[in-house]
Amino acid sequence: MTNPFLSLPGAVEATGRDAGIAAHYGNLVTEQRRLADGSAIVDLGNRAVLTISGPDRLSWLNSITSQSLSGLDAGESSETLLLDLTGRIEHAVRLFEDGEVLWMLVEHDEAAGLLAWLDKMRFMLRVELADRSDDFATIGTLGALDLPVAAPNGVDLVWQDPWRAVVRGGYQYAAGEHPGAGWSWSEVLVPRAELDAIVARAASGELAVAGILAVEALRIAAWRPRFATEVDEKTIPHELDWLRTAVHLNKGCYRGQETVAKVHNLGHPPRRLVMLHLDGSDGVIPGKGSVVSVERDGEHREVGVVTSSALHHELGPIALAVVKRSTDPTATLQVDADGVAVSAAQEVVVPPEAGAEANVPRLPRLGAVTRHSPR
């Protein structure tokens, strides 16, 4: 399927997980600024669009994923996680309910596996699954722009990212003012038949466009996790502060819920998300998977890896990284960027003390001296 956005002047196609859409259109800084002020759109046409229809759609998905979805109203957005039995993240799904159909937006390489697993879990329930990626394309923006929004059931299909605030039933580990408060990201579904007209408006200058690199820079600055980058085979939601928007801590049982509850109430996540302010003096930005280390006893010891990185139009080179919980949050870290040592200052997202939120009374040790009231 040919992407008309790649025909725009200056378009450079992204590689890897974002292949098929534009990385940028020749001016990274300008694209970021326009995206940040709400005047630009981003082609996300390589993302998958899945649907669940049928009267049991909400109660069914509610029973097998991390978010409370039974009461989702028409026009409401949400997100949920599909966890394995040990609480590790297998899929992250952005959700929009239009009153008749539940729309699921996922990374393109998630779609087949997610649909196959959901199909096995239908049993006798009244639900139907479909892949609508060939019919609808996703366009992202931080503004409210005039676009031919799809509305097959009379409700505009616009997913509003809940990351701006902690949702009901969620929990935030990050302390202080959260940069996500200004993250007004939305993803708009448009009929693919309308893409040529949208691209023509962009070519005429009526619509500003930005590439995925602009999105990534602003997303990193907002501490917003993404499944394609921050999640690996060991990730649990607590490590990314994803309890804020994708997990309801007071809902009923679902796969992986025991781990979610135990870590939050009694334990600590083994790793934690940090944002790194990178030294840009060498002109090198470490890529995903770059090793993060800390100096101890005269040698550098590995404590984690970079998950996302970008050149931000105001903050300079930044990255998200997942590091061991025990890593000193005040320590200056070092990142190996293909043999170039890049110094990095941490900005704590998930603190080392995250978790253990239950107020469990400490029982005296057997044989320990305890205080008694006077006789």
Cα–Cα distances in angstroms (integers) from residue 206 to residues 27, 146, 200, 211, in the given order? 17, 10, 9, 17
Average pLDDT along the chain, 375 residues, taken 10 residues at a time = 93 96 97 98 98 97 97 97 97 98 96 96 92 98 96 98 98 97 98 98 98 98 98 98 98 93 97 97 94 91 98 98 97 95 97 86 48 40
Written as six digits, the tokens of 84 are: 């394995």
CA atoms within 13 A on the CB side of 81: 31
* Number of domains forming the structure of the chain: 2
Domain C-terminal end among 206, 230, 254: 230
pLDDT digits (tens, 9 = 90+) for 245-293: 999 999 988 999 999 999 999 999 999 999 999 999 999 999 999 999 9
pLDDT digits (tens, 9 = 90+) for 336-351: 999 999 999 999 999 9
Looking at the domain assignment, is residue 23 inside a domain?
yes
Looking at the domain assignment, is residue 223 inside a domain?
yes
List the CATH number of the domain containing 344.
Answer: 2.40.30.110
Q: How far apart are CA 21 and CA 174, in angstroms?
A: 33
Strand locations in 98-231 (E): 101-106, 128-131, 136-141, 158-160, 186-191, 208-210
Looking at the domain assignment, is residue 263 inside a domain?
no
* 307 and 221 within one domain: no
* 137 and 219 within one domain: yes
Looking at the domain assignment, is residue 304 inside a domain?
yes
Looking at the domain assignment, is residue 32 inside a domain?
yes
* 341 and 193 within one domain: no
List the CATH number of the domain containing 85.
Answer: 3.30.1360
* 291 and 200 within one domain: no
* 302 and 225 within one domain: no
Looking at the domain assignment, is residue 298 inside a domain?
yes
* 223 and 153 within one domain: yes
* 189 and 86 within one domain: yes
Looking at the domain assignment, is residue 102 inside a domain?
no
**Nearest 10 degrees: Cα torsion 98, 101, 104, 108:** -120
* 182 and 85 within one domain: yes
Q: How far apart are CA 236 and CA 294, in angstroms?
A: 23
pTM: 0.94
Beta bridge partners of 299: 296
Beta bridge partners of 27: none
* 187 and 299 within one domain: no
* 275 and 339 within one domain: yes
Contacts (Cβ under 8 Å, ≥6 apart) of 302: 291, 292, 293
DSSP string, 252-278: ---TTHHHHHHHHHT---SEEEEEEEE
pLDDT digits (tens, 9 = 90+) for 203-218: 999 999 999 999 999 9
Looking at the domain assignment, is residue 86 inside a domain?
yes
Domain C-terminal end among 174, 205, 230: 230
Structural domain containing residue 161 = 4-46+64-69+79-96+132-230
* 296 and 224 within one domain: no
* 88 and 184 within one domain: yes
